[in-house]
Amino acid sequence: MSTIAGLPAHVLLLHVVVSLVPLTAVLLIVCAVWPAARRRLVWLVVTFSAVTLLVTPLTVTAGEWLADTGKFAPSPKLDAHMAAGEYGLYMALGLAVAAALLAGLHVALSRGRNVGSLLRLGIVTVVIALAGGSMFAIHTIGSTGTEAAWGDLLTASADG
């Protein structure tokens, strides 16, 4: 994937990922700790995590294509962003696993199955850890990308 409507696909797709990851992560945490929210929002969260899981590899591939065009000079900032971006798929997988755990819990409880409090606590802990990790990852990927794309411009304007 290279361009969409003449614009680099990476520039467009990254906004989907940057929007959905924190939204999904926050909703995962809310659904993990608040059963009423889980009953109403679990399938929305599953959908958001699935879309994130589909769009993230496309974004990474489009970013690799963009870097390979030769329009950007190699730099340590670009290298840092590309290294951070390699973890994007793991971030998306973490959200999908967290959503699957919550969906499984929701289905079990809605069918009247007895889910022990220790298992519930374990699911909540894993969901919160995966959601928090994904927010850290998207921040790292995004901040290194911002530095790679805009760092010199931002530094120049801050000095003047």
Could you say which DSSP state residue 59 is in? H
Confidence of residue 128 (pLDDT cuts 50, 70, 90): very high
Strands (E), the chain: 3-4, 7-8
Q: Which residues have a Cβ under 8 Å from the Cβ of 46 and sit 6 or more positions away?
A: 99, 100, 102, 103
- What's 1's DSSP letter? -
3-state secondary structure of 17: helix
3 pairs with which residues across the strands? 8
Arithmetic mean of pLDDT over the chain: 91
Burial per residue of 62-84, b for 16 or more beta-carbon CB atoms within 10 angstroms, e otherwise: bbeebbeeeeeeeeebbebbbeb
**Under DSSP, is residue 90 helix (H, G, I), strand (E, B) or coil?**
helix
To the question of pTM greater than 0.95 for the whole model, the response is no
Share of the chain above pLDDT 70, in %: 94
- Give per-residue pLDDT as tens, 138-152: 999 999 988 888 876
Name the residue with tokens 């329009």. 71
Q: How does pLDDT run across 46-103, given as a tens digit for each residue?
A: 999 999 999 999 999 998 888 888 787 888 988 899 999 889 999 999 999 999 999 9
What's residue 11's pLDDT? 87
What pLDDT was estimated at residue 154? Answer: 61
94 token code pair = 């973490």
pLDDT value at 158 more than 60:
no
